[in-house]
Amino acid sequence: MIATLIATLVEEDHAEDDGVLAPDDRLTCHVHGRWIHQCVSSPVHVNPVTRHRWCRGCDSPLGVVVDELAGAVAMRCPRCGRGGSAATARLLAACRASIEAHRAA
């Protein structure tokens, strides 16, 4: 499992550096060295400018719930219950794919 994570981290780093992988589409986190679903709740993954995990209307970070057994990830604003954005939708998709990749490792 660890070897698969490390190999995926290295592969994604190279693909991102080569411009063939968007940072939003990574299954791993180069900051934390983990699968993205394992650290997406970190404040590092909140960005008000790009709206990753950010509710513009409430100026608030979105809460995160990850259920690895069900393969589900949800993010929503603790104030208004909404807060979705295109950036957050991509992050959700990456987290779901990360769960699947972790399971396959």
pLDDT in tens, 83-100: 889 999 999 999 999 999
Within 13 Å, how many C-alpha atoms sit on residue 89's CB side? 4
Give the pLDDT band of residue 54 (cuts 50, 70, 90): very high
State how far the Cα of 93 lies from the Cα of 105, in Å rounded to an integer: 18
Q: How far apart are CA 14 and CA 1, in angstroms?
A: 20
The dihedral formed by the CA atoms of 44, 47, 53 and 56, expressed in degrees to the nearest 10: 150
pTM of the model: 0.92
- Give me the residue spans of the domains in the chain: 1-104
